[in-house]
Amino acid sequence: MNKSIKEKLELFQERNQNRGRLLVSCPDQPGIVAAISKFLFLHDANIIESSQYSTNPEGGIFFLRIEFECPSLIEKGKQMKEEFIEVAEKFSMEWNLIHVHQVKRIAIFVSKQLHCLRELLWEWQSGDLMAEIALVISNHEDARADVEGLDIPFYFIPANKDIRKQVEEKQLQLLKEYNIDVIVLARYMQILTPEFVGAHPNKIINIHHSFLPAFVGARPYERAYDRGVKLIGATSHYVTNDLDEGPIIEQDIARVDHRDNVERLKKKGASIERSVLARAVKWHIEDRIIVHQNKTIVF
C-alpha cells in the first residue's frame, strides 16, 4: 500500500478506536429509542449522531443509525454485543454493531473504461474514502498501470460467458484470500452468476450508466439517443440476480438536448457515473445504508 495512504488509514483507526455504529431495523413501536439510549448510557457511551425513520408509526418498520463514542470499546465490544441481544429480542430487531476503526476492505472490478476506477482511486488517495482497496480485478489490462502505480495488487482474469464459471471460481478465491468486505463494479462489463451474487448479498455495488429503471442492460446511451431523451443519468445499486434491478443507493442526472450525439452523451454521463458511484461506496463504508426489501434507507 502507498505509504501516505497507509499513514492516513492508521491515523483514522487510531482516532476511531472508541467509536461505534449501531444499525437497527424492527417493527415500529414505542420505547425503541429509549431502550437503545439506556443501553448505551449504561455502557458509558456518548451518542455523536442519530438518524431514524419509520415507514408508518402505526404498524410500519423503524430504522435507526446511531454513531457513538464509548471508552475502551475494543475491549468491551464483544460483551456489548452479547448484552444487546436482550434488547434486540424484545423489539424483534435486525441489528449490527460496528467498530469504526475496522476499516472495510474493498475489491474493485473493472473492464476497459477507467473513469469510475480512477475516481475511487483519487478519493482513496485524498483520504476521503476511508477503506483499504485490497485489490483490483479486470478482464482487460488497461487499468494495470493506474493500479500498480499505487502499490495495489492487480489481477488480469480474461472473462466471457463461455468460461464464466471458471473465472468466478478464481475471483471468489481471491476475494476469500484478501478477506474482502465489499465488491465495487466500476464499469465491469460482465454479468455475474447467481452463485457469485448469492455469496455476497448486499455487498456488491454496481454503477449503471442510465437513470434506472430507464434503459436497463446494454448500450443505454445509444438507446437514450434513439429515444431523444432530455435527461441522462447514472444509478448505483446493490447487485441482485435481476439485471440492474437491485436496491438503488444513489442516482443523479444531467440535462441534454438535440445537439448531443451519442459520444457527447457518453462524455457527460461519465462525469455523473464517477460521482454517483463514489458517493454510494462512501455511504456503504460509513454504514449509512440499510436495505429493506428492494429499497434502501440512506442516512
| Closest among 243, 110, 252 to 184, alpha carbons compared | 110
Is 237 within 8 Å of 206 (Cβ atoms)?
A: yes
* Whether residue 244 lies in the annotated active site: yes
User: Cα(10)–Cα(135) distance, rounded to whole angstroms?
Assistant: 19
- In contact, 43 and 66? CB cutoff 8 Å: no
HSE of 18, CA atoms in CB hemisphere, 13 A = 11
What is the DSSP-derived secondary structure letter of residue 31? T
Judge contact between 246 and 238, C-beta under 8 A. Answer: yes
**Under 8 Å between Cβ of 197 and 109:** no
d(CA 160, CA 210): 23
H helical segments located in 68-183: 73-90, 115-126, 144-148, 164-177
Per annotation, catalytic residue among 244, 252, 260, 287: 244
Listed residue (199, 202, 219, 201) closest to 210, CA to CA = 219
Print burial letters for 161-192: b (CB count within 10 Å at least 16), e (below 16).
eeebeebbeebeebbeebebbbbbbbbbebeb
Instruction: Give the residue numbers marked as catalytic.
Output: 244
